[in-house]
């Protein structure tokens, strides 16, 4: 198939594109290569894809309406994986306009492109942040998501609602994945485990918000990629049991689905830091700080619906995932990569 992958130079996007190329699909990648974090890492990810004859790339932002319309018209993708976004909960608090441009206008452009060329399926990244102030764990997909605590979370919930609208109006199959704290090789330098690894190796302090008393459902990137590929291969369908008098918020009588993409094994952050110290053979210099705006105390996924739909759910143990990440980090740095 010909598949459009947005955010192809991103952490998850690059690895999804690589999997699609490895099985013989044609991948059209786009990314704006912005400087939210060092673009050198994004370019290094792209270098993993460029040797493939079936890979093409164009640098642009999904918020560029004319450019996106041109890409869809020219490439006529059969399916789309939208992983482009202005990421960062705290960034959305500091710079709401950039989050809105990419995550709202950009997503409209994706949906309009899908409508114009009648794509077979759109899979897109939502986020566990949509659960916001909901403190009932584990998070199940039909739980309340009406109290976001950051603009980033609000944009991701808006994406789900926008996708349902296009599924309802135009019959476009759409599937959203609520990703839970993804980590692993080629990860994002703004994410906690990446920052902690760098700081510990450089004998710099690590910052632990809410004095480290946070719980996260850490999800290894290979498991996320596997889920995205399997979701892509199983287009959303209408729910035969959908009841308009008691509507399920993540299915419908349109071809629309939303799933948690997390393993359902949350860990206290301080325990994960202990594990990272053991792997690195060094102690961290811990700085305990107050809670930050937009953060939540704990996340934890119920993976039941995902497993029922695609036959698997994330399961890589955190210690094993951290060992693989540290091995990649050390090798990448030894090879001269900037991290």
| Catalytic annotation, residues | 152
Q: Cis peptide before 138, with omega less than 30 degrees from 0? A: yes
Measured CA to CA, the distance from residue 287 to residue 108 in angstroms comes to 41
Retrieve residue 53's tokens: 């004859």
**Dihedral through CA 282, CA 283, CA 284, CA 288, nearest 10?**
170
Per-residue burial over 86-123, b if 16 or more Cβ lie within 10 Å, else e, is bbbbebbbeebebbbbbbbebbbbbbebbbebebbbbb
Measured CA to CA, the distance from residue 17 to residue 26 in angstroms comes to 9
Measured CA to CA, the distance from residue 118 to residue 4 in angstroms comes to 13
**Half-sphere exposure at residue 295, Cβ-oriented, CA atoms within 13 angstroms:** 17
Retrieve residue 195's tokens: 């920052």
């Amino acid at each position: 198939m010909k598949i459009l992958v947005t955010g192809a130079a991103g952490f998850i996007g690059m690895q999804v594109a690589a999997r699609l190329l490895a099985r013989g699909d044609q991948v059209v990648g786009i990314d704006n290569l912005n400087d939210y974090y060092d673009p050198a890492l994004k370019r290094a990810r792209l270098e993993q894809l460029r040797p493939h004859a079936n890979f093409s790339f164009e640098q642009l932002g999904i918020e560029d309406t004319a450019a996106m319309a041109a890409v869809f018209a020219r490439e006529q993708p059969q399916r789309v994986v939208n992983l482009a976004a202005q990421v960062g909960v705290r960034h959305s608090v500091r710079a709401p306009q950039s989050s809105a441009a990419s995550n709202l206008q950009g997503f409209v452009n994706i949906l309009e492109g899908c409508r114009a060329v009648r794509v077979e399926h759109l899979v897109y990244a939502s986020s566990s942040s949509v659960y916001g102030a909901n403190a009932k764990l584990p998070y199940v997909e039909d739980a309340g998501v009406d109290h976001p605590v950051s603009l980033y979370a609000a944009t991701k919930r808006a994406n789900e609602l926008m996708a349902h609208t296009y599924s309802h109006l135009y019959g476009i199959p759409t599937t959203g994945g609520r990703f839970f704290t993804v980590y692993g090789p080629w990860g994002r330098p703004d994410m906690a485990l990446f920052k902690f690894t760098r700081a510990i190796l450089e004998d710099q302090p690590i910052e632990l918000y809410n004095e480290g008393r946070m719980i996260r459902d850490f999800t290894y990137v290979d498991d996320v990629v596997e889920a995205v590929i399997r979701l892509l291969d199983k287009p959303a369908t209408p729910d035969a049991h959908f009841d308009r008098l008691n509507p399920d918020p993540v299915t419908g009588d349109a071809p629309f689905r939303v799933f948690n993409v997390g393993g359902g094994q949350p860990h206290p952050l301080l325990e994960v830091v202990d594990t990272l110290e053991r792997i690195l053979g060094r102690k961290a210099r811990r700085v305990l700080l107050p809670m930050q705006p937009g953060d939540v105390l704990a996340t934890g996924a119920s993976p039941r619906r995902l497993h029922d739909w695609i036959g698997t759910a994330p399961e890589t143990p955190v210690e094993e995932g951290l060992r693989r990440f540290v091995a990649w980090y050390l090798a990448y740095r030894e090879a001269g990569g900037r991290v």
